[in-house]
Amino acid sequence: MQIDLTGKKALVTGASRGLGRAIALSLARAGADVVITYEKSVDKAQAVAR
């Protein structure tokens, strides 16, 4: 099942690793504009943002 989230916005906290990362990537693949936050790992967060 595919969901079209084009034009929707999402905020994902803890998105540099684990479940937050998976959710952020899934939302982006579905077309959402995703804002992510992270606590410590700026390198991992930047990789998710790309």
- Could you tell me whether strands 33-36 and 9-12 are parallel, antiparallel, or unpaired per DSSP bridges? parallel
Q: What letter would DSSP give residue 30? A: T
Query: Greater confidence, 11 or 45?
Result: 11
Using 50, 70 and 90 to split pLDDT, how confident is the model at 41?
Answer: confident
Q: Decide: 41 and 49 in contact? Cβ < 8 Å.
A: no
Q: Decide: 17 and 27 in contact? Cβ < 8 Å.
A: no
Q: Decide: 20 and 13 in contact? Cβ < 8 Å.
A: yes
pTM to 2 decimal places: 0.83
18-30 pLDDT tens trace = 999 999 999 999 9
